[in-house]
């Protein structure tokens, strides 16, 4: 069974073939929620998983739908990510509506690129050490739980790597690289279709890429994960235990 996951500020969620389990802290107490994996019986999603390139595009669309459903229920918990989405939409809309009036702005931005990059790096590290710190620790714990499961429970959960092949960070790294290559070659078209194409290619690359080459996106993943504390590991391990118990019960029903 392949399992995946998602990190939150207060816990983790793990996905199996039929179920999803969220384990989180509320008033310092560990709690959990068990639900159905909404994609388990989705015919479009299941059919797309057999088609190279298309499966990556469909996967990201469903992931975004799932995220927005959750974000709209509890917007305060997701405001930093929602803000980034709104800023991105605003920038894309501006360039789309005013394509001919940006030559000077683009030239100025290019000349000041080192300053912008330095500012971006400073802001990113500030966020990592403050607002995003708990999320990144649960992110690391989530990866350790997945690696622990995939190793057939060898050693302890804490001994496993906080880096994972099927992490969204890897997808983003290759997505940005592909976008850069496409635009360098002058292959520029509708921004959303271009993004979907890049996502589809990046998804396939991650599936076939040799482990040594993954060290490149793993460097970025070291930034988006932080070595978890015992409380983060406890949540991830409990989520894994509940999920595997639920999946096994589904596979081997009790006969009375």
Mean pLDDT by runs of 10 across the 256 residues of the chain is 89 92 93 86 82 87 75 64 60 55 47 66 85 92 95 94 89 88 80 85 87 83 94 96 88 44
CB 149 within 8 A of CB 158: no
Q: How many domains does the chain have?
A: 1
Structural domain contains residue 169: no
Structural domain contains residue 154: yes
Structural domain contains residue 31: yes
pTM for the full predicted model: 0.78
Tell me what pLDDT residue 252 has: 46
Cβ neighbours of residue 218 under 8 Å, at least 6 residues apart?
A: 163, 170
Structural domain contains residue 94: yes
Tell me what pLDDT residue 61 has: 83
Task: Tell me which residue of 141, 146, 127 sits closest to 231, measured CA to CA.
Answer: 141
Structural domain contains residue 19: yes
Q: What are phi and psi of 165, to 5 degrees?
A: -65, -45
Structural domain contains residue 177: no
Query: Residue 23 sits in which domain range?
Result: 4-162+225-244
Token digits of residue 168: 């969204």
Structural domain contains residue 198: no
Q: What are phi and psi of 5, to 5 degrees?
A: -160, 175
Structural domain contains residue 88: yes
Tell me what pLDDT residue 109 has: 46
């Amino acid at each position: 069974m392949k399992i995946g996951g998602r990190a939150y500020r207060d816990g983790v969620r793990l996905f199996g073939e039929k179920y999803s389990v969220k384990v989180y802290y509320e008033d310092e107490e560990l709690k959990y929620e068990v639900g159905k994996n909404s994609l388990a019986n989705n015919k479009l999603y299941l059919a797309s998983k057999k088609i190279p390139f298309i499966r990556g595009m469909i996967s990201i669309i469903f992931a975004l739908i799932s995220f927005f459903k959750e974000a709209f229920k509890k917007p305060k918990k997701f405001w930093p990510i929602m803000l980034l989405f709104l800023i991105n939409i605003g920038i894309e809309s501006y360039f789309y509506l005013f394509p001919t009036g940006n030559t000077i702005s683009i030239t100025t931005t290019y000349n000041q690129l080192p300053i912008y990059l330095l500012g971006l790096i400073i802001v990113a590290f500030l966020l990592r050490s403050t607002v995003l710190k708990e999320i990144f620790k649960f992110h690391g714990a989530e990866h350790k739980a997945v690696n622990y499961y995939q190793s057939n429970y060898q050693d302890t959960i804490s001994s496993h790597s906080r880096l994972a092949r099927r992490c969204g960070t890897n997808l983003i790294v290759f997505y940005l690289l592909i976008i850069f290559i496409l635009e360098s070659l002058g292959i520029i078209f509708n921004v959303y279709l271009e993004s979907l194409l890049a996502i589809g290619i990046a998804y396939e690359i991650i599936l076939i890429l040799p482990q040594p080459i993954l060290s490149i996106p793993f460097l970025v993943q070291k930034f988006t994960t932080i070595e978890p504390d015992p409380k983060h590991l406890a949540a991830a391990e409990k989520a894994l235990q509940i999920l595997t118990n639920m999946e096994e019960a589904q596979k081997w029903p009790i006969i009375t």
